[in-house]
Structures are given as structure tokens and as C-alpha cells.
């Protein structure tokens, strides 16, 4: 009977080893995989919390901007550009500088493929031509700087005419940015 007891113990040992390899080890591996996923999830939650804290700080900063400043910013960097109004303003500025107006035209938007940022302003380009003296050209450029919204003189070409006059060809740029609307609605 002792030999049967030794055999039973050997079978029990083999059975327990088989149970360890067939059931317990895979269960531990599954538990380990779940623990790794939990650790990764907790890391992502921590990162999301840090981003949310940073975002809350930015929202507080934006909320502290006076409404009057937001309105000025919307004037300077409008959410949309009215091409007709800008062409009218350019013509008015040319006339105010006492230059002889020739042409003004809208060339399009996003004319240059610059590095795209998430909230990069959209570029609108205009061309204009006028004739006048050197001092009138300087006055025109000064008046462009004093405009309520940015009119960047991107390309300036001067050609001499008879009698000391110059032909001025301008490529002007202005910008729009919907981010200002987001700030204004906060």
C-alpha cells in the first residue's frame, strides 16, 4: 500500500505542477498585464490632470483680460476679413497721402505656405498701385502703419517716372484669426 501512496503523491505532485503551469501561471501573467495597463492608465490620467491644470491657468489668464482689450484685439486681428472694406481702406489711405490712385485688388488668402500652427492667423493679400512723389510715398507708408488693423507692406516696388514722380506697386497683407472669437466668448 505504501507504493500506492508514493504513486499517489507523485501523481499529486505532477498534477499540482500541471495546475501551476496550465492555470496559475497564465492567471498571474493576465494579472501582470492588467497591472501594467492600470499603471499606463494612471500615468495618462496624471498627464491629463497636468494638462487640465495648465489649461485652467490659461483660462484664468484669458478671463482676466479686460473686455475693452478683447474688443481692441478683435479690431486689430478680426475673426474675418472683409475684402471690400480693406480695399476701400487702402484706396482711402492712398487718397489721403495725396498720391494718384491707380488700382487696388484682392489677391487671395493664405497665399504663402508657411508653417501651419494650430492657431496661426490666416493671411489675406492685396495689391495696389499709385503714383506720386517720394514724400507722398513716405506719407502713404506712414499712414499704412497707423491703420486700426495690420496692413503689412509685404512687397514695395518703386519705379521712376518723368518729372520726379514715382510709380508705387504694393503687395499688402492683413490677417484674421478665429482664436480671438474663442477668447471673446470665454
Is 115's pLDDT higher than 50?
Answer: no
Confidence of residue 6 (pLDDT cuts 50, 70, 90): confident
Assess whether 163 and 114 both reside in one domain: yes
Q: Using an 8 Å Cβ cutoff, are 173 and 124 in contact?
A: yes
Give residue for cell 501651419.
116
Minimal CA–CA distance to 184: which of 33, 79, 45, 90? 79
Is 10 contained in some domain?
yes
Q: Is 60 in the same domain as 87?
A: no
Q: If we measure between CA atoms, which residue out of 97, 149, 157 comes closest to residue 127?
A: 157
Domain limits at 149? 78-185
- Residue 105 lies inside a defined structural domain of this protein: yes
Q: How far apart are CA 64 and CA 182, in angstroms?
A: 14
Bridge partners, residue 101, by sequence: 130
Asked, for residue 70, whether it belongs to a domain, the answer is no
| 72 falls within a domain | no
User: How do residues 10-29 score in pLDDT, each as one tens digit?
Assistant: 888 888 888 888 888 888 88
- Domain stops at, among 40, 64, 88: 64
Residue 92: inside a domain, yes or no?
yes
Give residue-wise pLDDT tens across range 50-95: 999 998 888 888 778 788 877 777 777 777 788 898 899 999 999 9
Q: Does one domain contain both 109 and 26?
A: no
Claim to verify: residue 17 and residue 85 sit in the same structural domain: no
Q: Is residue 43 part of a domain?
A: yes
37 and 94 share one domain: no
Domain count, the chain: 2
Q: 184 pLDDT band (50/70/90 cuts)?
A: very low
Write the CATH number for 96: 3.30.70.60
137 in the same domain as 56: no
Among 64, 89, 108, identify where a domain stops: 64
145 lies in a domain?
yes
Same domain, 49 and 90: no
Mapping DSSP to helix (H, G, I), strand (E, B) and coil, where does residue 112 land? coil
Q: Do 58 and 82 fall into the same domain?
A: no
pLDDT confidence tier of residue 117, bands split at 50, 70 and 90: low
> What integer pLDDT is reported at residue 3 of this predicted model?
60
Q: Is the pLDDT of residue 107 over 50?
A: yes
Q: Please give the Cα distance from 137 to 146 (Å, whole number).
A: 15
Helix locations, 64-154, DSSP H: 67-76, 83-96, 134-145
Query: Looking at the structure, do residues 58 and 110 belong to the same domain, yes or no?
Result: no
Amino acid at each position: 500500500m505504501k507504493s500506492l501512496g508514493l504513486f499517489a503523491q507523485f501523481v499529486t505532485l505532477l498534477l499540482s505542477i500541471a495546475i501551476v503551469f496550465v492555470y496559475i501561471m497564465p492567471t498571474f501573467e493576465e494579472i501582470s498585464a492588467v497591472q501594467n495597463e492600470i499603471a499606463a492608465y494612471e500615468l495618462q490620467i496624471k498627464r491629463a490632470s497636468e494638462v487640465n491644470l495648465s489649461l485652467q491657468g490659461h483660462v484664468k489668464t484669458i478671463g482676466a483680460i479686460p473686455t475693452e482689450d478683447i474688443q481692441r484685439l478683435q479690431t486689430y486681428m478680426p475673426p474675418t476679413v472683409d475684402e471690400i472694406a480693406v480695399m476701400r481702406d487702402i484706396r482711402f489711405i492712398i487718397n489721403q497721402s495725396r498720391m494718384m490712385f491707380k488700382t487696388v485688388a484682392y489677391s487671395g488668402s493664405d497665399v504663402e505656405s508657411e508653417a501651419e500652427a494650430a492657431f496661426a492667423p490666416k493671411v489675406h493679400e492685396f495689391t495696389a498701385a499709385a503714383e506720386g512723389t517720394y514724400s507722398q510715398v513716405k506719407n502713404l507708408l506712414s499712414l499704412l502703419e497707423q491703420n486700426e488693423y495690420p496692413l503689412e507692406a509685404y512687397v514695395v516696388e518703386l519705379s521712376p517716372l518723368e518729372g520726379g514722380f514715382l510709380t508705387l506697386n504694393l503687395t499688402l497683407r492683413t490677417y484674421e484669426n478665429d482664436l480671438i472669437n474663442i477668447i471673446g466668448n470665454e
